[in-house]
Structure 1
Amino acid sequence: MAIEFINESGNASLNEEMLIDVASYALRAMDVNPDVECSISAVEEDVIADLHVRWMDLEGPTDVMSFPMDELTPGAMGSRPDAPDFGPAMLGDIVLCPDFAQKQADAAGHSLSHELALLTVHGCLHLLGYDHGTPAEEKEMFGLQNELLANWYDDLKQRGVKFQPKPTGPKAFPDAAERAALDKIVPGGGVPAIAEPRKAQPED
């Protein structure tokens, strides 16, 4: 599984190994073809704000956006595990904004590293075709997100790998309602719905 991490956020303390590890774990746990590729980019607030308005018509920065490849709809290569497997594929891109995510982490009472891990898992699920546009979709996606994230921490312990400690706070593994409440504290976040490019991938 090839995952590229690009840090253009200005935050040199981001743990590239951790973000790639949690993304790899989530995709493996979802039975995605091991030959898939995706990228994770960390950007500044003005960059994600530009993407936010260009691709979702929403003003201001946010915490995470996902850009699935156009052809990766359910039933295509590397998409949801309940779809036919046609082999390896480029899943798409996850864009994180650490500065914005820090506000979310502070409001939720856990570390930036945990917040970025949560957002990365959320982004992976969007790349696989999951969304939260309806209550039923919300329940499925957030439940799956929390299960994957909690299991990843357990997997780290079994492997003897240490990143940030597994948080125990009540907002560490939030459902959709809890994230919506957080969005009222930090407007613009709340792990938005899938961001699908209208015609093409964002320019470099």
Structure 2
Amino acid sequence: MSIEIFNESGYPGVNEEALIDVAGFALRHMDINPAAELSIHIVDLDTIADLHVRWLDLEGPTDVMSFPVDELTPGSGGRPDAADPGPAMLGDIVLCPEFAERQATKAGHNLSHELALLTVHGCLHLMGFDHLEPEQEREMFALQNELLADWYDDIAERELEFPAKPSGASAFPSAADRAALDDAEGHIPPIAEPRT
């Protein structure tokens, strides 16, 4: 699996190794073909605000956007045991650490955790998951939280020196928890993907 990271944000505290590790973990555990490729772009507020307007027609910055090259449907396409191994390039995830830091502060955890959560969220979008309907939203957020919690257990077993697993209730939010967090600030909900 090839995961490239491009940090153009200049924002301090971004652990690129952790983001590559959590993305790889999520993709492997979702049985994505090991030949798959993914790019993670870390950008500033102005860049993500521009992308947000151009691709979603929404004003203002957000925390994460996903740009699938070939959208997969959950449980097919990129699986190594599927008849068609699917596309080698999954797409791009764009993260804005400055916006994510605001989310992390409101949720009561650190930037590293927030970026890991958003990376898993972005990976799920690239695999074809969405949260437009309530049932989809529950499924996607439950899977996101399961993958993220399992990743923390995995890094503890491997004795990696990434930040410790947070214990606060908002560290592994449901979709409703996340929406309440966003509504409290009265801004455009984060966790976005471009229209196809």
Q: Under a length normalisation based on structure 2, what TM-score does the superposition of the two structures give? A: 0.93
Percent identity over the alignment is 63
Residue 120 of structure 1 pairs with residue 119 of structure 2: yes
Compared with structure 1, are the counterparts of its residues 73 and 152 closer, same or farther at alpha carbon in structure 2 (3 Å cutoff)?
Answer: closer
- Structure 2 gaps of 5+ residues are none
- CA distance in 2 between counterparts of 1:164 and 1:72 reads 31
Any idea what the Cα deviations from partners look like across 1:108-129, whole Å, max 9, x if unmatched? Answer: 0000000000000000000000
Residue pair 2:7, 2:42 contacting (<8 A) in 1 also: yes
Any idea what the Cα deviations from partners look like across 1:64-101, whole Å, max 9, x if unmatched? Answer: 000001x334287427x897542551000000000000
Equivalences for 1:32-71 in 2 at 5 Å? Answer: 32-69=32-69, 71=70
Equivalences for 1:40-189 in 2 at 5 Å? Answer: 40-69=40-69, 71-74=70-73, 77-78=77-78, 85-87=84-86, 89-186=88-185, 187-189=187-189
- CA distance in 1 between counterparts of 2:115 and 2:169 reads 17
- CA distance in 1 between counterparts of 2:21 and 2:82 reads 24
Using the TM superposition, give the Cα deviation of residue 195 of structure 1 relative to its aligned residue in structure 2, in angstroms.
1.7
Residue pair 1:34, 1:88 contacting (<8 A) in 2 also: no
- CA distance in 2 between counterparts of 1:31 and 1:109 reads 32
Any idea what the Cα deviations from partners look like across 1:137-160, whole Å, max 9, x if unmatched? Answer: 011000000000000000001111
- Aligned partner of 1:195 in structure 2 is 194
- Aligned partner of 1:202 in structure 2 is none
Provide the aligned length of Structure 1 versus Structure 2.
194
- CA distance in 2 between counterparts of 1:76 and 1:149 reads 21
Deviates more, 1:87-96 or 1:99-108: 87-96
- Structure 1 gaps of 5+ residues are 199-204
